[in-house]
Structure 1
Amino acid sequence: MSSAEERVARDKVQVPPLSGVLAAHDIVKRFGPVEVLGGIDMQLRPGRILTIMGENGAGKSTLFKILAGQLQPSEGRLELNGEEIHLSSPHAAHAHGIHLVPQEPMLLRELTVAETMFVGRMPTRGGLLRRVDWGYIRERAAAVLETLGLEIDIDRPAKNLSIAQLQLVECAKALLHDCRIILFDEPTSPLTTREVETLFGIMRRLVDDGCTLSFISHRTEEVMAISDDIVVLRDGQLVGTAERGGFDRSDLLSLMVGRPMKTVPRRDTSYTSPEVALEVSDLTHEPRFRGIDFKLHRGEVIGLAGLVGAGRTEIAETIFGIRKADRGQVTMGGETITGISCHDAIRKGLIYVPEDRARHGAVPPMTITQNITSGLMERVRRTIGLMSRSHESEISAQAVRDFRIRCAGLDQSLLELSGGNQQKVVFAKWITTQPRIALLDEPTRGVDVGAKEEIYELIESMARDGVAVLVISSEADELVRLCDRVLCIYEGRIVAELAGEQITPHSVSASYVDGASSGASA
């Protein structure tokens, strides 16, 4: 047995021992004059899962950052097992066994999976001339991933992972820190139903072994399925708490948004016209996808369904010009646009709202106004070449109202907004360009239930105005709610097409799971 193998055997991956109670007492957090948390009292108990719900901007992520040492409270105190603790940094939180799995994956993408899991805690070996113990890193990383049932190659560059895989690797890092209290900030938002089930299986095992878990989610079905305790925040205030069975779905939604919520059925009106807005023929980008054929009409909403990694995002990126096609053709309004630049695509009225807002959708250090109006720059350059400050502010203020973006002002940077409000800014940036064709990749990822319905209504309004819309979504209910047709993708191929009343949650899921064998052999 090698020295690395001996160390892995000695450090065999085990679930941390029983954790204690982590309590927050009268927590207040202010950013300048803005109070984002006001007097929060809650506790996380061992062997239980506490879920925090609330609209975007309710203060959920801010509360988690305080519990994880990333932010300090303006007032109030934290206690662990009845003793007051002061978490001045994430390192201090780790020392108390508290680990935060962030909403946006923070892995260093140029490193391998194994390497990025150990950043900041690189093990070494040797005497005076100590060096990194790469063998131990690889063995230990593989052992942790195996323990969690994650089939991810430890030698694969992190930059080649999907956003869902990056999130799962972030989850695995918690065990490397030997943490007993694990906080998950919207871990399921980029995951498919199957991946959510995998994550929930991991979470249940951890709580069965005495760990304390808490997570943030907007998805009421998930909350009802996994939670032992539920806390609801609204506008920085705690407005409801209950144990399992104490809430029903309508109660949760009403508490979150502060008003009764009604269930909206799938729209029964189609705005599809005979005019073809976008035609894709034999589009191929090996090894991600091949032989993609479909037509998208003006006023039509088409959905792409499938497991993460099936090739859905890559199809949209190739249509938009981010990726180069190996073969095939993309035609827009009768004009071939295969291989044109993204700038040219935008000028022609084709937009792409990406899934990963931090990498492709926005510039976090820039202000809300700068981000929203940046999508208009190409149009401005082709006309008068200038945009006044007052015009920028007018456009941004209208977008903030239309999208209900919660912010302190138009000059606030995206870094200071909640994840859901960042997503709204990205969406607003492109919709203000008045596109002819919109490619929307997980448009409601990280968006609360109230804002989600507003985005649905906006997409329907776009279709009514003749915009052709392609929606990629991992939520079957979302596709049912929005789409005239759904194309089901499996391993880079279209394996089924559903239309009208054929589109149900069951049929969407079954088409790319049960139909996989036929698609793979096609």
Structure 2
Amino acid sequence: MSIQSASASAASPLATPIVAMEGIEKSFPGVHALKSVRFELLPGEVHALMGENGAGKSTLMKILSGVYAKDAGTIRIDGQPVEIGSPREAQALGIGIIHQELSLMRELTAAQNIFIGREPRKAFGLLLDEAALNDGAASIFKSMNLALDPRAPVESLTIAKQQMVEIAKALSHKSRVLIMDEPTAALNDAEIAELFAIIRRLKAEGVGIVYISHKMDEIKRISDRVTVMRDGEYVGTVPAADTPIETIIAMMVGRALTTEVAAPRASEDAPIALEVIGLRRGREIRDVSLHVRKGEILGFAGLMGAGRTEVARAIFGADPLEAGEIRINGKAVSIRRPEDAVKAGIGYLSEDRKHFGLATGLDVRNNIALASLERFCAPGGVLKDGEMRDIAKRYIGQLSIKTPSDQQEARLLSGGNQQKVVIAKWLLRDCEILIFDEPTRGIDVGAKTEIYKLLNALAAQGRAIIVISSELPEVLRLSHRIAVMCEGRLTGFLPAGASQEAIMQLATQRQSAVEAPHAA
């Protein structure tokens, strides 16, 4: 598929749908995931698929892309009924998918991931043609206006760059139908603009795009129609431009929803729970000093690559430091690995919950207990399974985790419910200091509100909280103070109620540093 510049045009409502799904049913053990669901996609259309976490959106698209087999219903491609038994069969039909959870092989290069299983060969097919492989990937990256080395190992790339590799991989299959599941979750504003430019060019070429996102502003900007699902059922399809956001939210949750959650007031005289002084590591962390008081939510803002996650990982002992001091309740502590941080009372919710937050092959019960196993160890090393069950059920209820039981494998939960399991793990550990890195990434509007209330409740209990978020409204809504970073430096602190413009000014202040890091 060529990606040529062209003006976007809305799909014709009279066109034959590329995809028509009717009466789709799917059940898993203990869960009726899809109940007679319908969905259609027109040529040259961006069709948003929306619903709360667990509504069935990803399950429906995994059926279309051959990951899951449907239990009942019909799928038509260009009006002809088809059976899609595998991802390879879906690709042969021109269906590509970019999953919410990245599915790249981290030890391979970007180019190797893009062409895995269909690598160009030479010498009568006996040898891989690495030059052609890299040239092919470079051509796709160029069409995406993406500066990325095809030879770079995926494990060396940021989450945002990995997401772009996933998109390039889907484009390489010359897809007529492209499913994007939360494609902007790890992208900054500039990268989102590039992605939308790609989508508009594809749309003008007649490609149908299914766009799954919880970001209402994106849906309004890029979509032609919106289909809403709730609890595994089809709710309705509405035009994106003419339907108020409040109406779409009400369709999603079955009620009107207030998303505004005011941050609790923190005492300026509260004791300092966490203080870091002069943290340094290469160009990623440059002399960072800050503190967080008990009962305070410190927001961390900055553009992608500013160093926010790097600071969090350094505090948690996941990455080594060249210099700097960490103090807990006024006392210097040595944190060289995550185990040291946990013992010191620090919990960290990684931005990449799949690889660093969960043991996806274990059930919900064991994941919740994972950071507190010594609490459940009986003499002889035998685990107190009954106590683990009772604790897990308590947090499932407290956090409204949607799961058929505490023995459901974590990998089978929706992204939002997986995030809640990670939160439960650190709540059980009773950490005094909590670092939330992109806590609502890939989470629906209803679950976001629940997590905002939870963060406020934790702060009200006296916990010190750092929230890293790429969504400025989220940072402003939650934070008592906001620390802003640019290129590894802290460029300023802002009070609650600051403007987005003030944050962006500091986020692009490339050669500045804060003289008095404890200033409010």
Shorter-chain TM-score range:
over 0.9
Q: 1:461 to 1:175 in 2, by over 3 A?
A: same
Q: Within 1, Cα distance between the matches of 2:321 and 2:30?
A: 51
Q: Within 1, Cα distance between the matches of 2:307 and 2:334?
A: 18
Please report how far the alpha carbon of residue 434 of structure 1 lies from its aligned counterpart in structure 2 after TM superposition: 1.4
Structure 2 residue aligned with 1:397: 393
Q: 1:204 pairs with 194, 200, 207, which one?
A: 200
* Equivalent residue letter for 2:289: D
Structure 1 residue aligned with 2:517: none
Q: 1:25 pairs with 22, 27, 50, which one?
A: 22
What are the residue-to-residue correspondences of 1:181-220 with 2, within 5 Å?
181-220=177-216
Q: Within 1, Cα distance between the matches of 2:2 and 2:45?
A: 25
2:477 aligned with 1:481, yes or no?
Answer: yes
Q: SS of the residue aligned with 1:427?
A: helix
Q: 1:95 to 1:420 in 2, by over 3 A?
A: same
Q: Within 1, Cα distance between the matches of 2:143 and 2:26?
A: 37
Contact 1:271 1:463 in 2 (8 A): no
Please report how far the alpha carbon of residue 407 of structure 1 lies from its aligned counterpart in structure 2 after TM superposition: 1.0
Structure 2 residue aligned with 1:45: 42
Q: Within 2, Cα distance between the matches of 1:271 and 1:411?
A: 41
- The C-alpha deviation readout for 1:391-420, integer Å capped at 9, x for no partner, is 111111111112111111111101211122
Q: Within 1, Cα distance between the matches of 2:30 and 2:447?
A: 25
Contact 1:192 1:307 in 2 (8 A): yes
Q: Within 2, Cα distance between the matches of 1:222 and 1:180?
A: 22
Q: SS of the residue aligned with 1:432?
A: helix
* Equivalent residue letter for 1:452: K
* Equivalent residue letter for 2:237: T
Please report how far the alpha carbon of residue 187 of structure 1 lies from its aligned counterpart in structure 2 after TM superposition: 1.0
Q: SS of the residue aligned with 1:375?
A: helix
2:513 aligned with 1:516, yes or no?
Answer: no
Q: SS of the residue aligned with 2:441?
A: coil
2:310 aligned with 1:314, yes or no?
Answer: yes
Structure 1 residue aligned with 2:79: 82
Q: 1:432 pairs with 415, 428, 443, which one?
A: 428
Q: 1:277 pairs with 248, 273, 284, which one?
A: 273
Q: 1:273 to 1:55 in 2, by over 3 A?
A: farther
314-323 or 115-124, larger mean C-alpha shift: 115-124
Contact 2:98 2:180 in 1 (8 A): yes
Q: Normalised by the size of structure 1, how large is the TM-score?
A: 0.92
Please report how far the alpha carbon of residue 455 of structure 1 lies from its aligned counterpart in structure 2 after TM superposition: 0.6
Q: Within 2, Cα distance between the matches of 1:219 and 1:366?
A: 30
Contact 1:193 1:474 in 2 (8 A): no
Please report how far the alpha carbon of residue 505 of structure 1 lies from its aligned counterpart in structure 2 after TM superposition: 2.9
Q: 1:196 to 1:272 in 2, by over 3 A?
A: farther
Q: 1:53 to 1:13 in 2, by over 3 A?
A: closer
Contact 1:423 1:446 in 2 (8 A): no
Q: Normalised by the size of structure 2, how large is the TM-score?
A: 0.93
Q: SS of the residue aligned with 1:111?
A: coil
Contact 1:266 1:480 in 2 (8 A): no
Please report how far the alpha carbon of residue 265 of structure 1 lies from its aligned counterpart in structure 2 after TM superposition: 5.3
Q: Within 2, Cα distance between the matches of 1:495 and 1:384?
A: 52
Structure 2 residue aligned with 1:8: none
2:94 aligned with 1:94, yes or no?
Answer: no
Q: 2:66 pairs with 66, 69, 85, which one?
A: 69
Contact 1:321 1:338 in 2 (8 A): no
Q: Within 2, Cα distance between the matches of 1:501 and 1:68?
A: 44
263-272 or 88-97, larger mean C-alpha shift: 263-272
Q: SS of the residue aligned with 2:180?
A: strand
Q: 1:123 to 1:334 in 2, by over 3 A?
A: same
Structure 2 residue aligned with 1:264: 260
Please report how far the alpha carbon of residue 390 of structure 1 lies from its aligned counterpart in structure 2 after TM superposition: 2.0
* Equivalent residue letter for 1:506: E
Q: Within 2, Cα distance between the matches of 1:477 and 1:13?
A: 33
2:152 aligned with 1:156, yes or no?
Answer: yes
- The C-alpha deviation readout for 1:302-322, integer Å capped at 9, x for no partner, is 111112221111110100111
- The C-alpha deviation readout for 1:467-520, integer Å capped at 9, x for no partner, is 000111000011011101111111111112111222x3332233213x336469
* Equivalent residue letter for 2:372: L
Q: 2:142 pairs with 140, 146, 160, which one?
A: 146
Contact 1:273 1:298 in 2 (8 A): no
Please report how far the alpha carbon of residue 15 of structure 1 lies from its aligned counterpart in structure 2 after TM superposition: 9.3
- The C-alpha deviation readout for 1:170-197, integer Å capped at 9, x for no partner, is 0011121111110011111222233222
- For the aligned residues, what is the CA RMSD? 2.2
- The C-alpha deviation readout for 1:231-263, integer Å capped at 9, x for no partner, is 111000111211133321111111111121124
Contact 1:58 1:235 in 2 (8 A): yes
Structure 2 residue aligned with 1:233: 229
* Equivalent residue letter for 1:328: G
Q: Within 2, Cα distance between the matches of 1:383 and 1:54?
A: 47
Q: SS of the residue aligned with 1:366?
A: coil
Number of residues of Structure 1 aligned to a counterpart in Structure 2: 506
* Equivalent residue letter for 2:102: P
Contact 2:3 2:202 in 1 (8 A): no
* Equivalent residue letter for 2:104: L
What are the residue-to-residue correspondences of 1:297-308 with 2, within 5 Å?
297-308=293-304
Q: Within 2, Cα distance between the matches of 1:379 and 1:321?
A: 23
Contact 2:334 2:340 in 1 (8 A): no
Q: Within 2, Cα distance between the matches of 1:359 and 1:201?
A: 30
Q: Within 2, Cα distance between the matches of 1:391 and 1:384?
A: 17
Q: Within 2, Cα distance between the matches of 1:362 and 1:279?
A: 28
Q: SS of the residue aligned with 2:146?
A: coil
Q: 1:173 to 1:409 in 2, by over 3 A?
A: same
Contact 2:3 2:201 in 1 (8 A): no
Task: Structure 1: state its 5+ residue gaps.
Answer: 1-10
Please report how far the alpha carbon of residue 219 of structure 1 lies from its aligned counterpart in structure 2 after TM superposition: 1.2
